[in-house]
Homo-oligomer: A and B are copies of this chain.
Amino acid sequence: MTQGVFRALADPTRRAILQQLRDGPRGVNALAQGFEMSRPAVAKHLKILEEGRLITVEQRGRERLNHLQPEMLAVAQRWLGFFDAFWDDKLANLKLEVERDDD
């Protein structure tokens, strides 16, 4: 699960797609207009985003609307959260250094 999310986030086009989808669901063509690449290329990115469960697809007639599904971003946030303690420790150590650096 974690792998699917981080893999999906690794590509700048895919991250941009997610940001686009914050404004509402979009079809492949609408999305592809925002990028300098062909529709099939964007379609492949969407597939990877779908595999990572960062988007869901709603079929409406001949249209396929790609919806942002931000729940999985929480997986990434949670993983990163495990380092917050380290971050805090480092800041604390730094603080100590600063405090006895009064000469």
Contacts of A18 in B (CB 8 A): 83
Is the contact region of chain A dominated by helix, strand, or loop, or is it mixed?
Answer: helix
In the bound complex, what is the Cα–Cα distance between A98 and B68 (angstroms)? 19
A1 at the interface (CB under 8 A from B): yes
Query: Of B10, B78, B83, B98, which contacts A98 at CB under 8 A?
Result: B78
Contacts of A6 in B (CB 8 A): 6, 9-10, 15
Knowing A2-B101, A103-B2, the reply to whether A80 touches B77 (Cβ < 8 A) is yes
Knowing A10-B10, A97-B1, the reply to whether A80 touches B90 (Cβ < 8 A) is no
Q: List 15 A-B contacts (CB under 8 A).
A: A1-B103, A2-B101, A2-B103, A3-B12, A6-B15, A7-B10, A15-B79, A19-B82, A22-B82, A70-B86, A70-B90, A75-B94, A75-B98, A76-B80, A78-B98
